[in-house]
């Protein structure tokens, strides 16, 4: 590992040591407060285009196994840690450094992550560039022209290009059952394996549709639900998907998670806005506004529903117990439900896996 640096777009610079594949890499930097789950986080397609900063100080101490991965590759642009574990691992596990090097991804360790996190909380998420010593000129030129996340199409590359029926999730994951009367149309904006598996566990079959789907692809083919997946980037850039989802609302149950929730917000007539630094981690409390119960959830989003834009008839299902942001919506008459958090977790607490059952109850 050689010396390296992390440069923020506001000019602040941090030093450390490069691990994985040494390179100059740029993206929006966000901090994640999870104590574990770095393998799932790195392979979550929702992190496409982002540099992930882990606030927990020691990362990598239990290695990596393919079974934990939420997709086939590392989607995060890079990883920032305080201390990369370099000691022994259980048999059969790969080191985090080897995993990142094999996947062609860059990381930086020995960074003052506490100071960096406070800086992001104070000044907001922004672009950052990681670079090895001796490549500062190239790094500064790159970050000076690198587009903001609100200007980038991050869906392409992490979503399917054509329909796929009952995708095989790989060894260790549950497979679809033979039940053709219970098939969900799932629009893939960067789906996690664990979300598909949760539908398989409940006896449903799944057809993955590309983000360019048309409402007729759903309405004319006997699906029992339209489900909009998680994914990276700004939902305001996905107005074609918003329009198609809007055509389905009121004609078929429509549900979604994370980016899918944000697209539903737009399709119902609301808007989304960029957050200062977002919610990323496995310890975010949300309050069920119907029951008053509070649940600890896994979250990963930098955009949120604009409460003031929500039309009449759309009810707030969940609120964030820390900052009051909208965490879920429903419309009983039109059979719409969505949540901003991740009920499948992976990583994170399993407190809200019942959300899948609640969504599936909308099927009439």
- Residues 70 and 42: their CA atoms lie apart, in Å, by 9
Determine the distance from the C-alpha atom of residue 108 to the mean position of all C-alpha atoms in its chain, rounded to a whole number.
Answer: 22
Structure tokens belonging to residue 290: 């119907």
- Which residues are identified as catalytic? 258, 342, 344
> How far is CA 278 from each of CA 30, 97, 120, 266, 274, rounded to the nearest angstrom?
8, 27, 10, 19, 8
Crossing angle between the packed helical segments 259-267 and 239-248, to the nearest 10 degrees: 70
Beta-carbon contacts of 293 under 8 Å, excluding residues fewer than 6 positions away, are 287
Number of neighbouring beta carbons within 10 Å of residue 323: 11
Q: Of 99, 85, 80, 73, which is closest to residue 25 (Cα–Cα)?
A: 80
Q: Of 242, 212, 274, which is closest to residue 338 (Cα–Cα)?
A: 242
């Amino acid at each position: 590992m050689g010396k390296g640096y992390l440069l923020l777009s506001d000019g602040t610079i941090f030093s450390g040591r490069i691990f994985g594949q040494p390179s100059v890499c740029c993206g929006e930097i966000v901090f994640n407060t999870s104590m574990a789950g770095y393998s799932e986080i790195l392979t979550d397609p929702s992190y496409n285009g982002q540099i992930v900063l882990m606030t927990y100080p020691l990362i990598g101490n239990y290695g990596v196994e393919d079974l934990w991965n939420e997709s086939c590759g590392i989607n995060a642009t890079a990883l920032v840690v305080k201390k990369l574990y370099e000691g022994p691992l259980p048999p059969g596990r790969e080191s985090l450094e080897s995993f990142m090097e094999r996947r062609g991804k860059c990381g930086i360790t020995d960074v003052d992550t506490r100071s960096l996190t406070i800086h992001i909380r104070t000044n907001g998420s922004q672009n950052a560039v990681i670079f090895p010593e001796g490549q500062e000129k190239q790094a500064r030129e790159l970050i000076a022209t690198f587009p903001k996340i609100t200007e980038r199409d991050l869906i392409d590359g992490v979503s399917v290009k054509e329909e796929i029926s009952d995708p095989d999730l790989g060894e260790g994951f549950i497979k679809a059952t033979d039940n053709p009367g219970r098939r969900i149309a799932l629009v893939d904006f960067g789906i996690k394996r664990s979300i598909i598996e949760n539908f398989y566990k409940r006896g449903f079959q799944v057809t993955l549709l590309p983000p360019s789907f048309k409402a007729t692809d759903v309405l004319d083919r006997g699906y029992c639900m339209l489900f909009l997946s998680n994914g990276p980037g700004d939902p305001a850039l996905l107005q074609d998907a918003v329009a198609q989802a809007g055509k389905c609302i009121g004609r078929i149950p429509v549900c979604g998670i994370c980016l899918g929730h944000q697209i539903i917000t737009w399709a119902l007539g609301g808007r989304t806005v960029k957050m200062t630094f977002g919610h990323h981690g496995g310890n975010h409390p949300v309050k069920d506004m119907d029951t008053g119960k509070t649940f600890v959830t896994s979250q990963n989003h930098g955009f949120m529903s604009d409460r003031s834009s929500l039309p009449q008839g759309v009810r707030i299902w969940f609120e964030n117990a820390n900052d009051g942001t909208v965490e879920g919506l429903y419309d009983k008459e039109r059979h719409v439900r969505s949540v901003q958090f991740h009920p499948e977790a992976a990583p994170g607490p399993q407190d809200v896996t019942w959300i899948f059952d609640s969504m599936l109850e909308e099927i009439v």
